[in-house]
């Protein structure tokens, strides 16, 4: 069994925030506190320890009480840069990543992701969950920034990004992986809703039961 103590949680807050007008997305308010802090507090009970990946406002992030690590790659190189940073600082067997802009992710995320890893003997597990499509219908889609990574995949990720790779699925395809689907009765349909714009953030705050 994979214990929660074997997992380090990583909040990904290192993006440019381009679609939010360049603001630091992780510091935008949600339910009375910064998005990244909300995500951190939601993840902490599920794992042994947590850290944050951020590239600016480092003093503010450090005030959240968890270690803060800027990207080990330059120029805001995307989610894989966050994965690489997290794995480079991870001292446990597993790293669980969550983005700062999806503050309603499941409270049993770690438990179900590790169960999927064990069942499939996978070194990478990616989440999949319900989203409301542009046509208004509910669809289950991969959520690749919600990733459970075994620390043994670090060398391959280093080689992949050194060769210019930036796409998550192109890298994860190199490893035994599993998909952990969150679409059972009782799952929150807004669990993986994210706020790419200030308008989306405002809409997310108005949705009922978004923190359940």
| Binding site members | 12-14, 25, 53, 71, 101
Residue 188 CA: distances (Å) to CA of 78, 135, 192:
27, 20, 9
Hey, what are 121's tokens? 């003997």
d(CA 16, CA 122): 31
Binding site residues for GTP, as ranges?
A: 12-14, 25, 53, 71, 101
To the nearest 10°, report the CA torsion of 52, 55, 60, 61: 0
Binding site residues for Mg(2+), as ranges?
A: 101
Hey, what are 79's tokens? 């989610």
3-class secondary structure, 106? coil
Contacts of 194 (CB under 8 A, 6+ apart): 99, 101, 102, 200
Enclosing H/E stretch for 144 = strand 138-150
Residue 163 burial (CB < 10 Å; 0-12/13-18/19+)?
Answer: exposed
């Amino acid at each position: 069994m994979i214990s929660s103590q074997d997992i380090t949680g990583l909040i990904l807050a290192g993006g440019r925030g381009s679609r939010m007008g360049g603001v630091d997305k992780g510091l935008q308010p949600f339910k009375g506190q910064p998005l990244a802090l909300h995500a951190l507090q939601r993840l902490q009970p599920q794992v042994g320890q947590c850290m944050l990946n951020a590239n600016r406002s480092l003093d503010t992030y450090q005030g959240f009480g968890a270690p803060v690590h800027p990207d080990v790659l330059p120029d805001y190189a995307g989610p894989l840069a966050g994965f690489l940073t997290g794995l480079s600082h991870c001292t446990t067997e597993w790293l669980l990543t969550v983005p700062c802009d999806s503050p309603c992710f499941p409270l049993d995320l770690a438990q179900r992701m590790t169960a999927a890893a064990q069942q499939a003997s996978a070194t990478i597990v990616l989440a999949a969950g319900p989203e409301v499509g542009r046509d208004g219908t509910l669809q289950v889609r991969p959520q690749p920034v919600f990733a459970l990574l075994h620390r043994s995949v670090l060398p391959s990720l280093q080689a992949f990004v050194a060769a210019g790779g930036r796409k998550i699925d192109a890298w994860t395809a190199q490893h035994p992986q599993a998909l952990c689907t969150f679409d059972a009765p009782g799952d929150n349909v807004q669990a993986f809703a994210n706020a790419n714009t200030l308008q989306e953030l405002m809409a997310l705050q108005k949705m009922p039961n978004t923190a359940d």
